[in-house]
Amino acid sequence: MEKRKTLKSGEFLVNEVEAMNIFIPEEFNEEQKMIAQTCKDFLETELYPNLDKIDAPDTSLMKSILKKAGELGLMGISVPESYGGFGQSFITQMLTAEVIGAGYSFSVAFMAHCGIGTLPIMYYGNEDQRQRYVTKLATGELLGAYCLTEPGAGSDANAGKTHATLSEDGKHYILNGQKMWITNAGFADVQTVFAKIDNDRVLSAFIVERNFPGVVVNPDEKKLGIKGSSTAQIFFNDVKVPVENLLGKRGEGFRIALSILHMGRIKLGANVLGAAKKAITDSVKYANERKQFGVLISNFGAIKYKLAEQVIRTFALESAIYRVSKDIDDQIVTNKKVEGTDIGKASIDGISHYAVEAAILKVFGSEVLDYVIDEAVQIYGGMGYSAEMPVERGYRDSRINRIFEGTNEINRLLVVDTAMKRAMKGDFNLFGEAEKLALNLKDLLVVGPVNSDFYLEKISYIKNFKKIILLIINGASKKFEKQLVQEQEVLNNITDMIIETYISESLALRIQKIELIKPCHNLDIYKEILNVYVYDASEKLRKNAYDAIYSYASQEEIPTLIKVVDTLVGVEGINVKESRRKIADKLITDNAYQF
């Protein structure tokens, strides 16, 4: 059997994969479906009847529901069997994150525990630390938190002031400092705390137990949304942390923090997917019940537009999420084969490798959910503003996702910066391909005939999108050189083009693979989704390319570059009204998100 081709992180900018080489949600196996159903049943029975009480907030109730999730094994999905978990693949971890994402503030508490609360110790801890903590975190016997952010250190994590000094007898680190916005702070038993030892320039990481003398947890913060999620400040006043609780090596904390953030970003992409699907189902159910002027509002074209656009963006997000999840699984397997690499290091290195895609999914996913839930409130009309309706809670809870796991502003800069750095390391030939295009601009003004094959046509459009990105990177890099990092507006233009291109390609490959591997009576609807998405993406690329070119190019260069962009973004026109109506009609008929 031919080995599956896996692209390196960011390599999609210069290379393609065949549809059969990606993973799509239509390939979930029975075990994965069973785990997903268990998560859905848990939300229905344990969470949804208690949402108002949890948001009161009732920290003790949230804690008890988390404990029940642990008893069912839901907290051990990512943890190897040798440490009391299920040792599931990264795809399955992402599927779990997706389903739990429909759980409002519970999903925040759950994901914080299972991810940043548990996995730093799993991935970077020694055997003793894993046995002492991970085995109990995997079952919910202990609950975890992650303490990185400080009042003066948000996006700039290494600017933290929390510090540790070795005691005179050499048995403890004496920890002093303050952490804020700590999820699960109100009840977490175990905390991963980042601090600088002595005069170190970089952070180290420590495993701190809540009952260590000197650990003081403030009352929960009052927040706009995710009210049921315990969020508080934690103070460390001469806390004696045993030296054996240093996590990883001295000075490795910053690396640990960054690696865990990559994981958090990509899993947030899955989390918001589950929330978006629930919001769409809530939207269509209401539209199929609410009458105005004697007619169900689901019959109105303006409402069908909203419903269809909710579906298009969500289906596209899902396509990209599971594409990269399989890439990560493959990378983890490759890492395990390296002599001396244990499961923790193999896993976190595999996740961290796809930093470009993690940032893409964090930005795109959080903004998709914001769009979906905003339109859900609009479909509900005045009732959407009422706390009696689920979309009101969803609207408030959604807003944090553009701030969590590094703001979208930071992540937008990371997309292009990380891709360029990977290229400089030799992972793929970004700059060589860009230079070739720049030297042959006239060739780009010649457009061949439209391909009669549906998928080849779409892939040819996406290849042209990539050419635009490479041209802009080439031009901006030459203009600004080392100062490009300061040109954040231009970097944002490039990132938004990269995001649209990666999502478009993932969507096209998914639908093509659906047709190749299984009969599908919804195939025509899926093709409509792809038609609309690529059509809209082309105009987004045009706008961002224009903005970038006018920001860096000379007056002599601009006319030719604009002509090239206009040529490369050209796609066949479609009747978007009819396409969206067909997509909406399927949703309306199903009365739930079933794509």
With 0-12 / 13-18 / 19 or more C-beta atoms within 10 angstroms meaning exposed / middle / buried, residue 219 is exposed
Give the Cβ contact number of residue 345 at 10 Å: 15
Beta-carbon contacts of residue 405 (< 8 Å; ≥ 6 apart): 261, 264, 265, 268, 362, 411
What DSSP state is assigned to residue 106?
H
CA distance 183 to 400: 12
Catalytic (active site) residue 489: no
CA distance 47 to 102: 10
Q: Compute CA distances 32 → 72, 88, 101, 474, 571, whole Å.
A: 15, 9, 16, 43, 38
**Pairing mode, if any, of strands 172-183 and 163-166?**
antiparallel
Distance of CA 146 to the CA centre of its chain: 18
Contact of 391 with 287, CB cutoff 8 Å: no
Tokens representing 36 are 């997903």
Beta-carbon contacts of residue 517 (< 8 Å; ≥ 6 apart): 20, 26, 27
- The single residue listed with the structure tokens 């927040």 is 223
User: For 294, left (φ over 0), alpha (ψ -120 to 50), or beta?
Assistant: left
- The single residue listed with the structure tokens 């999730």 is 69
Distance of CA 145 to the CA centre of its chain: 20
Catalytic choice (392, 405, 500, 505) = 405
Beta-carbon contacts of residue 585 (< 8 Å; ≥ 6 apart): 304
- Residue by residue, DSSP assigns 241-292 as EEGGGEESSTT-HHHHHHHHHHHHHHHHHHHHHHHHHHHHHHHHHHHTT-EE
Sign of CA dihedral 573, 578, 580, 582: negative
CA distance 581 to 361: 27
The closest alpha carbon to 328, from 346, 354, 356, 365, belongs to 354
What value does the CA radius of gyration of the chain take, rounded to a whole number of Å? Answer: 24
Q: Compute CA distances 26 → 216, 485, 520, 523, whole Å.
A: 48, 40, 10, 12
Q: Which amino acid is it at 442?
A: K
For the chain, counts of helices (H) and of strands (E):
20, 10
CA distance 178 to 195: 10
What residues are labeled active site?
Answer: 405
